[in-house]
Amino acid sequence: MTTSDWLMILAVLLAPVIAVQVQQRLDVLRETRRRKTVVFQTLMATRAARISPAHVQALNSIDIEFGGSGTFPLKGPTRLEKAVIDSWREYHDHLSTNYDASQFQTWVEKGNELFTNLLHEMAKSLGYGFDRVQLKRGIYTPVAHGAFEEDQRVIRKSLVDILSGQRAIPIQVHPQVDAVGHPDPQAHLVETLVGVLEGKRAIAVRFVEQNGNTSGVDRPELALARDDNDAVPRSIAG
């Protein structure tokens, strides 16, 4: 057999193996691109809801999905993937930076710019033709969603302040009334007792004689003290 015959036999034997290996590499590359696309699509869809769990999960997946395929021949990140990782690290560093209340607006504006740069690098890596203006301005969010997120932020902040002792719960007491608008008897009794104990109100006194007759007392300063044979009330002061 000639050399060409041996080469032909070798090609016939190795062709299926090579075809399988090539198909496996293509499947890996296809799956890698699919996962990258999912991350990019999630970030694009949640641009107006950056505190949502889906948005945060997609951000935390960037290092894995754009850090290189990990298989031969592309074990490390490509130039475009490295640009994505660098943009994400810069944005992540900004998100981890503390800010004062007076600097909140400046912090938000810088964050928007860094996030737009991140999306732009991801779009280039995946072959999309988005520009920065489109990525930054092409967001639709209903006003009600923005108001809902702001309400949630205020509620969370207020609860944290209350539980940490930095804020008290405001309480306002209103007089109790019944169905027809009359003061509640129990509330009226409490108010009367407090007035008596504080010396602002006097107690009305009525004496019952031995013969069963009653006599009202118009003068509050008269006390209940009396002798056994004395039918007329005596003033404590006198």
Average pLDDT over residues 118-129: 94
Amino acid at 22: V
Sequence-ordered list of residues with C-beta below 8 angstroms from that of 146, at least 6 positions apart, any chain: 48
| Radius of gyration over every alpha carbon of the chain, rounded to an integer in angstroms | 42
7 close to 47: Cβ distance less than 8 angstroms? no
The pLDDT of residue 2 is 80
pLDDT of residue 174: 63
* Helical axes 53-60 vs 3-45, angle rounded to 10°: 140
Residue 151: per-residue pLDDT = 82
- Calculate the CA dihedral of residues 184, 185, 187, 189 and round it to 10 degrees: 160
Mean pLDDT of the chain: 78
Q: Is the dihedral of CA 81, 82, 83, 86 positive or negative?
A: positive
CB 32, CB 65: distance < 8 Å: yes
CA-to-CA dists, residue 94 to 110, 111, 115, 120, 224, angstroms: 8, 7, 10, 17, 80
Residue ranges of E strands in the chain: 206-208, 214-216
Q: Does the pLDDT of residue 213 top 90, yes or no?
A: no
Q: How far apart are CA 81 and CA 67, in angstroms?
A: 7
pLDDT for the residue numbered 221: 44
What pLDDT is attached to residue 229? 46
Per-residue pLDDT for 222 more than 50? Answer: no
pLDDT over 90 percentage in the chain: 26
Three-state DSSP class for residue 233:
coil
Contacts of 150 (CB under 8 A, 6+ apart): none
From 95-104, 113-122, 177-186, 221-230, the region with the lowest mean pLDDT: 221-230
- Asked if the model's pLDDT at residue 124 lies above 70, the reply is yes
234 φ, ψ (degrees, to nearest 5): -105, 145
* Whether 121 contacts 83, CB under 8 Å: yes
